[in-house]
Amino acid sequence: MTTTPAPATGVFDPGAAAAEATARILRDTLDGTARGVVVDSPPGAGKSTLVVRAALELAAAGRPLMVVAQTNAQVDDLVLRLAEKEPELPVGRLHSSDSDPYDRALDGLENVRKSAKAADLAGLDVVVSTAAKWAHVKTDEPWRHAIVDEAYQMRSDALLAVAGLFERALFVGDPGQLDPFSVVGAEQWAGLSYDPSASAVSTLLAHNPELPQHRLPVSWRLPASAAPLVSDAFYPYTPFRSGTGPGDRRLSFGIASDGSGPDRVLDEAAASGWGLLELPPRHTPRTDPEAVHAVALVVRRLLDRGAAAVSERSPDPVPVTADRIAVGTAHRDQAAAVRAALAALGVTGVTVDTANRLQGREYDVTVVLHPLSGRPDATAFHLETGRLCVLASRHRHACVVVCRAGVAELLDEHPSTEPVQLGVTLKFPDGWEANHAVLSHLAEHRVEWGP
Amino acid sequence: MPGPRRELRQRLAELRGPAVPHPLDARALAALAANPGCRRRALLDGAGVDKGALASALGSPSSYGQSQFAFARGHAFEARVKADGGMELMRLLGVDEPGGVRVPELAAAGPQGRAARTALALREATGAGTWTLLDHPLLALEVAGSPAYLEPDAVVVHPDGRWTVVEIKSFPVLDGSADPAKVGAAARQAAVYVLALERVAALTEGAEVAHSVLLVCPRDFTNQPAGSVVDVRKQLSVTRRQLARLTRIEDIAAALPEGLSFDLEGCSAEQLTEAVEAVPHAYAPECLAACELAFHCRGRSREAGAVETLGRSVRGELGGLTTVGAVLAAARGEAGDPADPAVAALRRAQALRREAITGAVAITGAVAGAGEVAGAGAGAGAGAVGTEGAAVCR
Amino acid sequence: MSLIGTLARLEAVESGRAQPLATVRHRHLSDRPLVLVPLTTAGEAGAPLGALVGTDPAEPRLLVVAQPRDRDLRFAFLADLAEAVVPYLDGYAGEVEAAERSETDPETGKKVKVEVELCADAPQLIVPSRAGVEYVRLLGRSTRFRRTAEDDPDTPYPAPARVPLLGRWLTHYGERARVPGSSLLLAATDLLNRHWATGQSSLEDQHLGALLAWIEAGDGESGAEAALRAELGRDAAGQLLCPPAGPATDPTFDNRLLAPAIDRYDRARQALGAAEEGELADARLGELHRAEREVRRLVASQLKPTWDAVWRCLELLRGLPAGSRVADRWTRDRWSFTGHRDRVRSGEPPQPRRDDAVTSAQKLAARETAQAQLEAQEALDDPLVLAARRLAGEAFTAEVLDVVPAWTESKRPSPRPLLTVRTGDVPQLGEGVKVYRSLDGRPQSAAFVGYEPEDGTLVLRLLDRMGRAKNPAEGTVPVKGDRIVWTLFEHDQRGGPKLPDPEDTPWTHGGPPGEPGAERPDPVTPEDLL
């Protein structure tokens, strides 16, 4: 890593540390000689801001570029952010030929041109699309620059399909989130530098170890109560800090607690940033009705009690409305069950989704159904570090985890007989360790369901 | 030795009976991680009961054994790797010009003597500033109050005081890759050695145990060794965890009735069966490859109708239903609360399965694929369905 | 495993017999498959012990290496195996049909149709277990780089011409077996496990004998009892009643029977070598033959039960009618076979030890496409497979209650009729989600419009395949009363994007791999010799 964290002595100035890191990244991107620059960005560290800024500076320097993101939602989001920062900038949105291929909000932007054909967008300063769409583009004249966003979630084979389109690139992503995967076995290529099922960054660095690597050192999203835990549990070798200090973010309620489990856990989360609502131990199917109901009730009480947030963005309390709340689950059927339970309680407008789909999103308060709650066994899927990391790092103020008791024992009894592939670099932390770290922290903020 | 630990040791000796404790080797310790939830295995291993002999006495002998071909080949390979005064091993470590390798004599009387001799040799080697190869050193590790003696294939002491465990295996590395299950087992075994070495290193000035081990296997189809560096940090933390858990043997032992014994000589098969049944097991099919008692526990587990006999993952969707009978009764609507999503899902699954099977029986005589008939709707004749595969491929 | 599969296993436990997991056969079975049952020597990679091979269950060809560490005998075994396998494969190379393939014209870069040959049928290899498939790969790897005297007159141990050819074919079959739904090389256990659920775990299902015991159970003995006997039952001499399906042998067999027999063989050979006189030599030659026959008999005793089991497995599978889309997948296998035939004919070098970046990415993409296609095709072919998708909310069966004609709002309106349907299933539908049904074997799509608030029926808008006219073509729109299967997954799979040619591998992936250059043969080391 060429980016060193703040010196051990003296007061840590998050703004200065982040600005310094950004300056170094932009210097390497604009003036460096390396073909690639890699930036690791922990949750909420301003990855999108960096991407937009790098794109604008490249464009301002008269160097047109292509931007590769992984999903259509990410592409649309980037286009909207670019247009917001620089309404005059000619931006191209390359999209698929499916019906309804892009966010209709783009239609209102004067300088954004949209097309399913790359040729229609030739000559624009910035052209943005998904990796899947770029893979079908053919060009004789490669772009001189590219930005690859969410590069840790991109598979190596997807990069192979688009890397011929550019000469050099800035790769930005969060190594702690969910890894890309394949629905068929890819073991036969394990250990190869270009294993097609590995992440794009691991292939890139295996072949180009000399590339400058940077790290954004400050999470602006996670509050002071969350950054240390998330950093220790999920980024043990690349720590980061929160941009705000203790007390900068506050959550309060207009209506006092009624003494119920949901209200008490909300009070705990408002006070400490974390809350664990523990249900009695029981083996349940994935859509555990009691746990699902508990999740919905916590959300309902959060809204009913008139939650309001104070933060560096606004000294006056801002109501925490439904759109600032998210519920995270491991499985789609759990998300569907929570949606139904919320609807039954008359709650609308709250985002309910799986960890996969919550990647890159940000809310004031999150309510998480613990991936191991009620399970008779832990599986690699449920232990995957990135899944828990996503669920535990979406919030600006507080995170409430709903879980059945007994997960610690479940972890203890989990067999550890993983196969080992020669030549594959270990990924840290181990899911078991990360789960234990989070669980033992949550135990300090435990509220029992019963009165 | 502190009092409680001695008490535990005493209690375990009573359970074992007069037999000499069955030595716990690294492989057995590593295997604890295969089913950490099994109290039966933890207690029997902790007490040094010979599980293989116990399984035979219970009438469910284990089927483990090693072919003498594999044995001979393994020995020949290890000898080859260690030949030439350790120079070959140095080469595998990436050191072409070691400038002499010390190979100290480690022979001594009894395991305690050998372990002491090894510790001495390690201390001498650490300060020596040269390469040292310890061939079959013996390490002691306290497990549940008793010392277990572990014998790695080799330990190399670097001139800078670093110690590296060498694990020699006879499965091949073919074009750079090896059977991941076997590499994983080797890594867990090596992690036990690393852990035991760390106890010695803690008392040795300037020593540090590497958390990567050297795995040596035959290369491709030859008898030439290929060395691979394997990072065992994960296995190390797993092993630490499992050894720490073994202290829970105390609680398991405390819960047993007085006078219980696993004395293979002194007890009848009935008594042994009763003793074994007094300790709860956590059978899963993975045990079959990892525990001598597995066939016995499988039989008991099947008798009890435990759904785990079909695999750990089966339980995932069954919620609180744990027996074959309970699940089937719930699926057939004979028992269970319909509001329980597990029960509701089972009933839907059962209905869909019945519909598919009975529907199919009625239709398969006419055309292949009953799903197709429904899918084709009224407009498409069944005849078109039958030739469809051919139509698509032209 | 889906809950439906779990239920089948539980019913198998209860009834003592395996239960169906499929109502049709989902893999192609050749009329004349080649069954190969290999055995290997414990502890040594690439030291075969023997094999039974052939296309006639009554007449297997027995190949045995009397001393597995003797390189000459090992090479002779591989030569014999090549003689048994390669002519069988060649037998399918000649009969072809004309077919079209789209290729990219190197000059214009446009896609053009090219007339090519497609083999009318393809040879099929069946091995007992997954370990057998792995062993086919190992045999392929160990033989494809061997040099023949023609390749290199100075090579110390020239291989018969068919040996490297065998290696290339086995390698091809081993790779093809990784493609979901392919049937060129199949393991008997996989075939059975796809179609039946036993009352034991999937780990135990890897034991061919135990697996068959569950499926063939009856006559007063439960599957569990029969399987236990297959797993552990031993005769008076301590030998397994049901020897392992290989390629590994039972250690007890090795130690008690095979090792002494090989020792006797070794001694007889030494004695023959030491004999000078003619008469004595004759006697010792007789001794050697007896010793060799004994090793052959022992190896055959371990192979034969598995050989019979594999053929019984094929019989069981033949009792199921083939799914209607199985032939489509087999055609892809025929393309695969034809493609490799062409590569061999055009003198391309053997497959490299490791795939390059582009090849591995291509293979992964092809397998992901094949996986999605297999899942869709099996569900469309088999109501029991479909049931699991319905349970998961990925498909639903619905009755058409009403059809309302409607059109697009363009200048030339196209039909977009609205269907009101009723289902007892619980599909995971959201606004705009597309659903598909099979219409004359082709997918027709519809969009989910919404639920009717009063009665929970679904409204779908039909989107395509109704012809070019203003009014839908006859039979393209469902009518009231039709019961239709709709899937939320697509029936066909689009291939992925074209990847760069290997010589254009980008810098992110290490750049071009360089000249493919001939792979060197494996070195011969002294340890291979006795």
* Per-position DSSP letters for A236-286, written without gaps between them: TTS--EESS-TTSSEEEESS---SSHHHHHHHHHHHHSEEEEEEPP----T
- For residue B345, name the pLDDT band (cuts at 50, 70, 90): very high
- pLDDT, greater one: B239 or A279: A279
Q: Do B36 and A284 touch (CB under 8 A)?
A: no
Query: pLDDT digit string (tens) for A332-385?
Result: 999 999 999 999 999 999 999 999 999 989 999 999 999 999 999 888 889 999
**Residue A433 in contact with partner chain B when CB distance is under 8 A:** yes
C-beta neighbour count of C257 within 10 angstroms: 22
Among C6, C116, C435, C519, pick the best mutation site for testing chain B contact (most B Cβ within 10 A): C6
Find the mean pLDDT for residues C245-252. Answer: 93
Query: pLDDT digit string (tens) for B152-201?
Result: 999 999 999 999 999 999 999 999 999 999 999 999 999 999 999 999 99
- pLDDT, greater one: B327 or B110: B327
pLDDT at C44: 85
Q: With a CB-CB cutoff of 8 Å, which residues 330-349 of chain B face chain A?
A: 339-342, 345
Cα distance from N-terminal residue to C-terminal residue, chain A: 50
Query: pLDDT digit string (tens) for C107-162?
Result: 777 778 889 999 999 999 999 999 999 999 999 999 999 988 888 888 888 889 89
Bridge partners for B214 per DSSP:
B166, B229
Average pLDDT, rounded, for chain C: 93
Q: Is pLDDT above 50 for C529?
A: no
Nearest by Cα to A5 from A302, A176, A216: A216
The Cα B42–Cα B252 span in angstroms is 9
Q: Do A190 and B339 touch (CB under 8 A)?
A: no
pLDDT at B172: 93
Find the mean pLDDT for residues C99-112. Answer: 79
- pLDDT, greater one: C107 or C394: C394
Say which DSSP state C255 is in.
I
Percent of chain A with pLDDT strictly greater than 90: 83
B68-243 architecture in CATH?
Alpha-Beta Complex (3.90)
Nearest by Cα to B262 from B18, B8, B6: B18
C-beta neighbour count of C168 within 10 angstroms: 21
pLDDT at B368: 33
Q: Do A285 and B286 touch (CB under 8 A)?
A: no
pLDDT at C281: 85
Structure tokens at A119: 């040729």
Q: Could you give the count of Cα atoms lying within 13 Å of C415 in the half-sphere of its Cβ?
A: 21
For domain C382-487, say whether CATH 3.40.50.720 is its number. Answer: no
A191: nearest CA partner in chain C: C354
pLDDT at C525: 62
Query: pLDDT digit string (tens) for B18-32?
Result: 888 888 888 888 887
Indicate the pTM of the whole model: 0.92
Residues on chain A touching B233 (C-beta within 8 angstroms): 426, 428
The Cα of C34 is separated from the nearest Cα of chain A by a number of Å equal to: 26
The Cα B41–Cα B276 span in angstroms is 10
**Residue B324 in contact with partner chain A when CB distance is under 8 A:** no
Q: Is pLDDT above 50 for C413?
A: yes
Query: pLDDT digit string (tens) for C465-517?
Result: 999 889 999 999 999 999 999 999 999 888 788 899 999 999 999 999 876 66
Amino acid at B233: R
Q: Is pLDDT above 80 for C8?
A: yes
Among C1, C9, C10, pick the best mutation site for testing chain B contact (most B Cβ within 10 A): C10
Q: Do A203 and C508 touch (CB under 8 A)?
A: yes
The Cα of C246 is separated from the nearest Cα of chain A by a number of Å equal to: 22
pLDDT at B384: 31
Angle formed at CA B323 by CA C205 and CA B55, multiple of 5 degrees: 60
How many residues belong to chain A?
Answer: 451
The Cα C530–Cα C70 span in angstroms is 6
DSSP H helical ranges for chain B:
3-16, 26-31, 39-46, 51-57, 68-82, 87-92, 110-128, 180-201, 233-245, 249-254, 269-277, 294-303, 324-331, 341-363, 370-376, 382-386, 388-393
The Cα C505–Cα C360 span in angstroms is 12
The Cα C521–Cα C145 span in angstroms is 5
pLDDT at B369: 35
Domain spans of chain B, in order of start: 3-65+248-314, 68-243
pLDDT at B4: 65
Q: Do B177 and A415 touch (CB under 8 A)?
A: no
pLDDT at A99: 78
Find the mean pLDDT for residues B376-394. Answer: 31
Q: Is pLDDT above 70 for B294?
A: yes
Residues on chain C touching A186 (C-beta within 8 angstroms): 364
Domain with CATH 2.40.30.10 in chain C: 382-487
Percent of chain B with pLDDT strictly greater than 90: 57
Query: pLDDT digit string (tens) for B109-143?
Result: 989 999 999 999 999 999 888 999 999 999 999 87
Q: Is pLDDT above 50 for B264?
A: yes
pLDDT at B247: 67
A191: nearest CA partner in chain B: B177
The Cα of B351 is separated from the nearest Cα of chain C by a number of Å equal to: 9
A291 with A374: CB under 8 angstroms? yes
Name residues whose C-beta falls within 8 Å of residue C281's C-beta, 6 or more positions apart in sequence.
C272, C275
pLDDT at B380: 33
Q: Do B230 and A420 touch (CB under 8 A)?
A: yes
pLDDT at A380: 85
Name residues whose C-beta falls within 8 Å of residue B369's C-beta, 6 or more positions apart in sequence.
B385, C24, C323, C324, C325, C380, C381, C382, C383
- For residue B393, name the pLDDT band (cuts at 50, 70, 90): very low
pLDDT at B223: 84
A292: nearest CA partner in chain B: B341
Q: How buried is A35 (Cβ within 10 angstroms: 0-12 exposed, 13-18 middle, 19+ buried)?
A: middle
ipTM: 0.92
The Cα A327–Cα A365 span in angstroms is 9
A327 with A368: CB under 8 angstroms? yes
Name residues whose C-beta falls within 8 Å of residue B214's C-beta, 6 or more positions apart in sequence.
B89, B92, B93, B156, B164, B165, B166, B167, B227, B228, B229, B230
Q: Do B184 and A420 touch (CB under 8 A)?
A: yes
B212: nearest CA partner in chain A: A426
Q: What is the mean pLDDT of each run of 10 residues along chain A (451 residues)?
A: 47 90 96 95 94 96 95 94 94 90 92 94 94 92 94 96 96 92 92 94 96 96 96 92 93 95 97 97 93 97 96 92 97 94 96 93 96 91 92 97 94 87 84 91 94 61
The Cα C50–Cα C41 span in angstroms is 9
Q: Which helix (H) or strand (E) holds A156?
A: helix A156-162
pLDDT at B372: 37
